[in-house]
Structure formats: structure tokens, C-alpha cells
Structure 1
Amino acid sequence: MRSWSHWGGNGQPFSTSNGKWKLVAEDTQGLSNDQVYVVDFVILCIGRFSDIPNIPEFPPNKGPQVFGGTAIHSMDYAAMDYKSAAQLVKGKQVTVVGFQKSALDIAMECSNANGAENPCTVLYKTRHWNLPDYLPWGFPLAFLYLNRFSELLVHKPGQGFLHSVLATVLSPVRWAFSKFVESHIKHKHQLAKYGMVPEHSFLQDINACLISTVPAKFYDRVEEGSLVLKKSPSFGFCKEGILIEGEDTPWKTDLVILATGFKGDKKLKDMFVSPTFQDYIVGPPNAAVPLYRECIHPQIPQLAVIGFSESVSNLYTSEMRCRWLAELLAGSFKLPRIKEMEKDVGEWDEYMKRYSAQYYRRSCIGALHIWYNDQLCKDMGWNPKRKKGFFAELFEPYGPTDYVSP
């Protein structure tokens, strides 16, 4: 395979070597023997936000094993029924670690259950521009970040000279859009009052798919004391609770819920038995997962991945990839040479590092989804321009309904 110049040897879904994949299906309940299936093509639709929790690393003797209370991951909490979850947190001092979607929702549930008598602590490492709504100062966010004009403000992978010049010249507009949204969030949530103003821009968060919607009345609960916000770069456990960096006294708590995300890349890697394919699929640790069109690995034939990389609407993006993959399987187009695909992957990696900063491994195309869809459309032989009229094409937001038909 390493000598092939094209994916699968011919740039088509099924290789010239007539290779097969062997799938082993394990019955996790032990009721039956493993089943082995031999197939021509595999599509991995395994997601990335499940199964393998991202547990922080702790210093020796400062992990959950020394804690006198209970420590679980948000995955375990989400698997409980409503009654069991309510009983778990009722009357307890709860600490939720994290500041994204699951963390915010769980913290609100705990504050609803216990009030100010047993406040819930939200322990976070980084402040983010979590939204109160999608109408900054009454203006739809989609008109700022989900149309073609907004993408002219960004340096794009594979762009030409004109696009590069435009992105540079229009950089003050890009900065102004970000500050406009930031001012709305700061005003609506009174972030300065609570010491919650992020150190980075809103643009970075939306490019890294780190935008969450804050539950209603979240900061009201902070004001009344049923939620306590604490920032700490790291923490450890002790018998009484947790040890927060920079504080001498342990923070007493009964229950710690780690809303610290998942190891999606490890989940993808563990699907393979071959060490070679394991290394191929996740790529080097200093680069984004190397998938062409966020779907195909140039060096792994007869396999596609759907639903790993993120966007502002994962269902919408996954549907577009499914349509692209269906056209590829139908023989509507061929893939380019492996070197060309790897070059394209490298350009997207540079884009993600430039705009998502340290979060590039999230493989987010959130603020560049039209440019991405244009590439899929061109591959499939569709017209990438989906609007009627110049101004509509430039300023109207793009969404799933724009791609109903070829």
C-alpha cells in the first residue's frame, strides 16, 4: 500500500488488490461468541463524545482513590435515570469540573436540587465565550459568522492570492465582529462582575467549536450563592475533597463530577488492531487528525469516518459528508493522488492551528463550513453557489436547506 500513488491503488472506493476488512463483533454481555464479518468497505460512525472519558492526570497520591467521597465522570451521570441522578446530588456539596455544555447543565441541575444551602462549585481551567443567546444586541449571529462574507475575513486552506489579500485587508472587520459579540456576552452575563471575561477572542472559540449556550438564570444562581465559580489550572484530591492550585485549605466536597470531555481520537485509534493503522488514523500529536475532506485517510483504503470532526451543527455537517461518500461509492468521482490529499490535509491543519490555537485537535470547521461544503460540492459535480442573486449569495446565512438537492 505504501507504494500506491492513489487511494486503494486506483483512487476508487474498492482497491485493485481486492483487499477486505475483518470486523470482530464482541458480545459485551457474554451471551454469545464473537462474530467475525469480512467486508469490502467500512464506514466508522462512532462519534467522539462517548465511551472513553477524558480523565485528568493527577500527581501521585492525589487521585480519586484518596477521596473520601464519590468521583464520577459526566458520562456516568448522564447514564443514570432522572430519579437516580437526583438522589445522587440531593443534599450534597457537589463540585463539577469543566465549563462546557455538560458541565453547565449538570451544575444547574445541582443548584436546582440544593440551592444556596449546599452550593455547587464549578471548577474550571479556562473561561470561554459561552452565549446567552444567538442574537448579539438583537442581530442574528448567523449573519456574522455563517455566510460567505464572514468567510472572506478568514485565511482559508487552499485559498488563492485574492482570497488571501481580502482576508488580510478585512482583518479589522473580523476583529470588530468578534468584539461586537463579546460586548453583548459581557453585558448580558455581567462577566466582569464575576471575573469571567475570557483572555482570548470569541473568534477563537467559534473556530474551535467551543461555543456553548449558558442555561437560563445561570449567573442569577451565581449571584444568589447556589453556584460558586472557581478557576484553577489544575487540582488534586484529598480525603476531605479537592486541592485547588494556589490554595492551602482543601475545598470540602462530597461528590465530584468530571465534565472533562472524551478522548475521541483514542476511540478512533482503538477501532484498529494493526499498530500501523492505529498510528495512521490519529496522526502525530502535534497535528489535527489527518482526514481528507474530514472523512477519508489517504493511507487507509476502503474506509471512511463520519462524525469525527466538528462544526456548529454536527448533524448538518455529517449529512453532507454522507452525501459526498455516497457519491464516491457510486463512482461519481475519483479521489486525487495521495500526495494531493495529504497536501490538502496539511493546509486544513495549518488553518486549524491558526484560528483554533491549542484546540486544533478538535478538528473544527465551524467558522468555515461554506468553504468546506464548496469542496464537497465541486467533488460531486454540484454547483457550490446555492443562493439566488449576488447579495443573497454573499450575505445570507447558509444552512441544511441550501443543500436539499444537487
Structure 2
Amino acid sequence: MEEADIVVIGAGWYGLAAAKTFIELNPEVDLIVLDGSPTVGGVWSEHRLYPGLKSNNMKGKLEYSDFPMDEATYRVKHGEHVPGPVLHQYLTAYSKKFDVHRRIRFNTWAQTVERIESGGWLITTTSNVSGAPEESQIRTKKLVVATGLTSGPFMPAFIGAESFNAPLFHTKDFAKNADTIQSARSVTVFGGTKSAWDAAYEYAAAGVPVNMVIRESGHGPVWMAPAYVTPFKIWLEKLVFTRLLTWFSPCVWGDADGYPRIRRFLHGTAVGRWIVDTFWGILNNDVIQLNGYDEHPETKKLKPWYGSFWIGGGLSITNHGGDFFEMVRRGKIKVYIADMIRLSERTVHLSTGEALKSDALICATGWKHLPPIKFLPEGIDADLGLPHYTSQPDPIFRKADAEILARYPRLKAQPPGNPHFKPLPRDEDDASAPDATNEPWRLHRFMVPPAYIHDRSIAFAGMLIVICTCISAQTQALWIAAYFANELDITASDADIKWEMALHTQFGKWRYPCGYGARYPDFVFDAMPYLDMVLGDLGLRKWRKKGRLAEIVEPYGPEDYKGLIDEWKALRKKAQ
């Protein structure tokens, strides 16, 4: 049996940042990174780069603070969306630059993780490095699970799937099925998410007629915003990272940014709530006008069903090479608001009675929100803060609901749900499917299970949806490293930690009911105070601008978080 000091599962943004941080703080650390892919990158690994894939973020916003994406090397200019192959190149270079790459075991899956009574974790892996599956075990003192929330695709159970007789795949496997762009005479894309838009666009751009089916019994189309919004044409990424504008989002950990009085005025008074509602109304109307949803009967079908205030990670940016809406207006992409009833020979049957001839069915149906790992012993999921099913929820969560609504009365007026909503059909034995659990992720700081808070041996990185992936990955990595090294003071009582966890993990249900807030941390508009909170735990500066006015009105970016590890080293040295 092999032994290690630290094992990191996952070589995406969060796993790479975690490994790099551990190595920088202790170059002699015995560290292993496990990843089932043949290359680094997670969603940006080489085998997942489907045609036309680009980042939602634009150049300068999707990079680690200590590894700039220079234009000469990566040939992406300021204000451009970053192509998928470039991001894969960037992450590969990062892993090599910081001595992580040689420690990664590719094509190696963590099948089970078992708690060892004497301490640490036993990982059983399956690898396919030599061409034949091999099983092995690793015992580690510390474990970081950084598989993210987009590693396990959710595929619905379709009636008649066995008779479809044509490619049927999840958007995760779009790259493997890219030949259908040339071979298909028509395709159906199932879903209204960003990946559904991407797939539909690529087929239509190649001259393949597309049927885009958005469930009548679902949550409707995603919010697709231009890169620049509001009448002032503010770069959207800068909008959500300008401290002044983050105050317009009620946030249960918002006071961590150091401006509690302003937040209480905006969300605790009638006048303040009117100002907040006006702001979100302007934002909504601006996106609707810019996209021209109401100007054509077909584009109107793509108009979001709920206000952007409520959607969280359901916010995306139009980054296609051409005009998606023009393709809809010209009939290259036909939009159907209907349920899929069944499949037959190269045909998709809808609840409207229409039958769509299709040489491929591409499913943008979301993800399993559990890590693709079995944790042992049986029943440990609840203690680890993993999503699970319980018939007796802890009363503390009802108490947390009451506290959240008392603080933020605006959240009482929840948007009316879809009266026709029903979850996608799944295989009955699929316990990892989205509707198979009724408890969301329950982690302290969205990283550590409260039941293991004093054990300091396990942490989860990247189990959240934010628009500042790189900065979040770096700050979480440093927090986890300090926590593992017993250099992060945890002075709160167990009861206080549990109460704060309850507030934070219940908050999403009320704040982002039209996103994924009830399942996992999904807080696009509340990422800045989250970073403030994490940095505050570490004793590092959260106000990182020069001057109070700049702090309020200038947008934050990766450059503002440069040198975090050096700051932490200096703080440790001073404390010795």
C-alpha cells in the first residue's frame, strides 16, 4: 500500500491551485494528484474541448493572479473570450511551472474513499495507464476532494432510447461526437442551458438544422447577457466584482466585506429595498432590450422565465462567433417549449404532438451534484456534509430559514414556480441524480464538514458556482493549506460553527431558487464577500485597493489578489 502526506482528487482549477499552494508552502511535501482524464484542466481538459468552446470570462478575468495569461504566449487580446484550447494550454503550463504536473496520475479514478479509524483516509483507485485496468490503494493523512460540480453528467432515462439508433450523448461528450457536425442532416439539442446554446450554435453555423427543445416542465431558458450591460455599458464581470454593486445583493455573509450599515439599509428598509429592486429591474430590462427577445416570436421563446435576481449560476454570457438570435430568427435554430415524451427511430416525440427527425440527440441536462466517488463506511455522507436523503431534517435548518427571512424580507416574495414543473426522469437506482437527495452540501465555509472540523484531514474545494473561479480556487487553496497545518485558528464553538453552516447553506434556497441554490453553493453575485470572509479567517487584507473610494467603485480582478501566499508566509513569520 502506498502512503502520502496529501492527496488531491481532481486536476481542474481548484485541484491545481490546491496542489500548487501545498507545494509552495512545503516543497518537500509528499503529494499526489489523481485525475481520471488523460490531461489537466477539468472541464478544460483536452478530451472535453468541443467545437467552438470558449470561456464566459474575457481575457484578464480567467487566470490565476500569480500566472498572468500574457498575450504574446496565448495570443488572446484584452476583451476577447478565451478559446477552450488556450485555456487547456494555460492550465498545462501552470501545472508544469509550479511542479504539479509530474505529481499528477492521469487516467486514474478514485473509486472509494474510506475513513481510517486511526486517522487519515484510504483511497482505492482504478487506473488505465498501461492499457489494462489496475486497482491500487493509497493511504493519505490529508485529502482534498476537488472534483467540482461538473464532472458527472446527468443523463435522463428516455423511453425508447434503445430504438433511437443514432448518437445520443451529453454535452460533456460533445468533443467525442463532433463528427456529427458533418454527418448529421438535422439534430435535436435538449435543454436551455449555456451548453445547449453552444451546441445549437455550432451545428447551425455548420449548416445543420437544429431543433432546440426547452422543457415546458423545467426552469426555462438560461439568462444570456451581453458582455457589457446596463445603460452605462459596464463589463458584466466587473459589475459583479465592484464592491458598490455587490451591495445590491442580499447576502447572509455579506457583512464580511466590512460595510454592514450600508447593507442593512439596502435590505432592511423599505426605501433600501426599493432602490435594490430598481437596480435589478434596470439590469433585467437592459438585457431583454439588448437581446431583442420581444422583437420576434421565435426569440421570445428564449426569454428567461424568471428575473436575473433569482438565478445565480443560471447567468451566462453570449460569446459565440456570430449572432445566435439571428440564427433563431432565420429558422436555422427552431425553438420548442415542450417536454420530450419518447424516442423512436431517429425521432424525438414532443408533448405538443410534434415529431422531430434527428440524426443526433444532444443532452444539456446538467450534472450529478455528488463527487463521482463512494465514501465509506456506509452512512458517512451526512457527516461529510455531502448531499444525501433524510426523512428527519435537523430543526436547525428551519430556524436558519426564519433568521434569513427576518434579515432579508425581500426574499419572502419568492418568484412563483413553474406549476408544471417535474424533475427529469432518472433510473430508479441512481442515488446520485439531482432529485435523489433532499439535503444540499453542508460544509463550513463551503469547504469542511463541521463533524470533522477538528480532525483537519479532509476538505472539499470548488464545490460552488462563482464567476471568479481562479481567485476562488486560490483563496480556498490557501485556507485549506492553513487549516491542514493547524495554522488557522478555529475559536468558535461547535454549536456556533454548525449554526453558521446552517445559515450559509440554507441561504441559497431563498436567494437563488431559480438557480441551484437549494442543491449547492451557487452565488455569482455574492462571491466578493465570500472571498472577504475567507481572507478574514486567514488574517489577510480583504480591502486590497488603494484608497476608500477606489475600494468602493473600482472593480476587482486577479491582479488584486497577487501575492497571497507571500502575505501568508509573512504573517506566519511575524506570529512566530
- TM-score band, normalised by the shorter chain? 0.7 to 0.9
5+ residue gaps, structure 1, are 1-14
Deviations 1:183-213 (A, max 9, x none): 23222221112212222111222x2353243
Aligned match for 1:43, one of 144, 160, 164: 144
Q: Residues 90 and 110 of structure 1 are in contact (CA less than 8 Å); yes or no, is this contact kept in structure 2?
A: no
Match of 2:212 in 1: 122
Query: Is 1:106 the equivalent of 2:199?
Result: yes
Query: Is 1:255 the equivalent of 2:360?
Result: yes
Match of 1:321 in 2: 476
Counterpart-to-counterpart distance in 2, 1:299 and 1:278: 11
More deviation in 119-128 or 88-97?
A: 88-97
Q: More strand per residue: 1 or 2? A: 2
Query: Is 1:229 the equivalent of 2:322?
Result: no
Q: Residues 223 and 314 of structure 2 are in contact (CA less than 8 Å); yes or no, is this contact kept in structure 1?
A: no
Aligned match for 1:397, one of 551, 555, 564: 555
Compared CA separation, residues 249 and 140, structure 1 to 2 (3 A) = closer
Query: Is 1:217 the equivalent of 2:369?
Result: no
Q: How does 1:161-240 map to 2 (within 5 A)?
A: 162=261, 163-169=263-269, 170-192=272-294, 193=296, 194-195=299-300, 196-205=302-311, 207-215=312-320, 216-240=322-346
Match of 2:12 in 1: none
- Where 2:173 maps in the other structure, the secondary structure is helix
Deviations 1:258-300 (A, max 9, x none): 1212213252xx3413222233432343443111111111124
Counterpart-to-counterpart distance in 2, 1:242 and 1:146: 43
Aligned match for 1:55, one of 145, 155, 173: 155
Q: Residues 184 and 359 of structure 2 are in contact (CA less than 8 Å); yes or no, is this contact kept in structure 1?
A: no
* AA of the residue aligned to 2:204: S
Q: How does 1:6-405 map to 2 (within 5 A)?
A: 18-28=118-128, 31=132, 33-50=134-151, 52-58=152-158, 62-80=159-177, 85-87=178-180, 89-114=182-207, 118-125=208-215, 126-137=220-231, 138-142=233-237, 144-158=239-253, 162=261, 163-169=263-269, 170-192=272-294, 193=296, 194-195=299-300, 196-205=302-311, 207-215=312-320, 216-245=322-351, 247-267=352-372, 270-280=373-383, 281-284=385-388, 285-300=437-452, 301=455, 302-335=457-490, 336-358=492-514, 359-360=516-517, 361-405=519-563
* AA of the residue aligned to 1:342: K
More deviation in 103-112 or 190-199?
A: 190-199
- For these two proteins, the number of residue pairs brought into alignment is 376
Counterpart-to-counterpart distance in 1, 2:330 and 2:338: 22
More deviation in 196-205 or 288-297?
A: 196-205
In the TM superposition, residue 79 of structure 1 has moved relative to its aligned partner by 3.4
Counterpart-to-counterpart distance in 2, 1:68 and 1:185: 40
* AA of the residue aligned to 2:226: P
Compared CA separation, residues 187 and 74, structure 1 to 2 (3 A) = same
Counterpart-to-counterpart distance in 1, 2:150 and 2:468: 14
- Where 1:401 maps in the other structure, the secondary structure is helix
More deviation in 300-309 or 26-35?
A: 26-35
* AA of the residue aligned to 1:327: A
Counterpart-to-counterpart distance in 2, 1:159 and 1:112: 43
Q: Residues 71 and 256 of structure 1 are in contact (CA less than 8 Å); yes or no, is this contact kept in structure 2?
A: yes
* AA of the residue aligned to 1:338: D
When the two chains are superposed, the root-mean-square deviation of aligned CA atoms in Å is 2.5
In the TM superposition, residue 140 of structure 1 has moved relative to its aligned partner by 2.9
- Where 1:56 maps in the other structure, the secondary structure is coil
In the TM superposition, residue 218 of structure 1 has moved relative to its aligned partner by 0.6
Match of 1:4 in 2: none
Q: Residues 225 and 316 of structure 2 are in contact (CA less than 8 Å); yes or no, is this contact kept in structure 1?
A: yes
Compared CA separation, residues 68 and 142, structure 1 to 2 (3 A) = closer
Counterpart-to-counterpart distance in 1, 2:544 and 2:153: 40
Compared CA separation, residues 222 and 380, structure 1 to 2 (3 A) = same
What is the TM-score when the length of structure 2 is the normalising length?
Answer: 0.61
* AA of the residue aligned to 1:113: A
Counterpart-to-counterpart distance in 2, 1:143 and 1:33: 47
Counterpart-to-counterpart distance in 2, 1:159 and 1:33: 48
Compared CA separation, residues 286 and 165, structure 1 to 2 (3 A) = farther
In the TM superposition, residue 88 of structure 1 has moved relative to its aligned partner by 5.1
In the TM superposition, residue 214 of structure 1 has moved relative to its aligned partner by 4.9
Match of 1:10 in 2: none
- Where 2:512 maps in the other structure, the secondary structure is helix
Counterpart-to-counterpart distance in 2, 1:155 and 1:135: 21
Q: Residues 209 and 333 of structure 2 are in contact (CA less than 8 Å); yes or no, is this contact kept in structure 1?
A: yes
Counterpart-to-counterpart distance in 1, 2:439 and 2:162: 34
* AA of the residue aligned to 2:163: V
Counterpart-to-counterpart distance in 2, 1:294 and 1:354: 17
- Where 1:26 maps in the other structure, the secondary structure is strand
- Where 1:299 maps in the other structure, the secondary structure is helix
- Where 2:443 maps in the other structure, the secondary structure is coil
- Where 1:182 maps in the other structure, the secondary structure is helix
5+ residue gaps, structure 2, are 1-114, 389-436, 568-576
Q: Residues 208 and 362 of structure 1 are in contact (CA less than 8 Å); yes or no, is this contact kept in structure 2?
A: no
- Where 2:541 maps in the other structure, the secondary structure is coil
Counterpart-to-counterpart distance in 2, 1:214 and 1:175: 28
* AA of the residue aligned to 1:184: D
In the TM superposition, residue 303 of structure 1 has moved relative to its aligned partner by 0.6
In the TM superposition, residue 251 of structure 1 has moved relative to its aligned partner by 2.0
Deviations 1:16-63 (A, max 9, x none): x8512111121246636422111111011212212x2111244xxx24
Counterpart-to-counterpart distance in 1, 2:520 and 2:325: 28
* AA of the residue aligned to 2:247: L
Counterpart-to-counterpart distance in 1, 2:354 and 2:213: 15
- Where 1:278 maps in the other structure, the secondary structure is coil
